[in-house]
C-alpha cells in the first residue's frame, strides 16, 4: 500500500459518521433481552455478527443461554440511534 492510498483510507475512516445508540440482544427462544448502549452501533453490530459466525458468546451475561439455545437463537435489535451533535 502506497503512502497516498494509506492517507486517503485514514482520512475516510476519520471522516466517517459514527452513530451511537441503544440496542438489545434478544433471545427468541425465551424472550429475554439484554439492553446495552454504545458509541458505535456499527461496531457493536459487527462484533455480534462475528460472534454468531464463530459460535462465541458476545457477552458474559448471555453465556448460559448461548450454550443452551445456540447462537442462532439471538438477534441484534437497534432500539434508538443517537448521532453526535456538532459543538
Give the chain's domains with CATH numbers: 18-83 (3.40.1440.10)
Question: Which DSSP state fits 41?
Answer: H
Measured from the Cβ of residue 68, the count of other Cβ atoms closer than 10 Å reads 11
Taking only the tens place, the pLDDT of each residue in 25-59 is: 999 999 999 999 999 999 999 999 999 999 999 89
The C-alpha atoms of residue 21 and residue 82 are separated, in whole angstroms, by 5
Residue 87: band (very low, low, confident or very high) from pLDDT cuts 50, 70, 90: very low
**Which three three-digit cell numbers place residue 51?**
460472534
Amino acid at each position: 500500500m502506497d503512502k497516498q492510498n494509506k492517507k486517503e483510507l485514514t482520512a475516510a475512516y476519520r471522516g466517517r459518521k459514527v452513530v451511537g445508540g441503544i440496542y438489545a440482544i434478544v433471545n427468541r427462544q425465551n424472550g429475554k433481552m439484554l439492553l446495552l448502549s454504545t458509541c458505535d452501533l456499527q461496531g457493536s453490530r459487527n462484533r455480534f455478527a462475528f460472534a454468531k459466525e464463530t459460535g462465541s458468546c458476545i457477552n458474559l451475561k448471555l453465556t448460559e443461554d448461548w450454550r443452551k439455545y445456540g447462537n442462532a437463537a439471538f438477534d441484534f435489535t437497534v432500539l434508538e440511534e443517537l448521532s453526535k451533535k456538532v459543538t
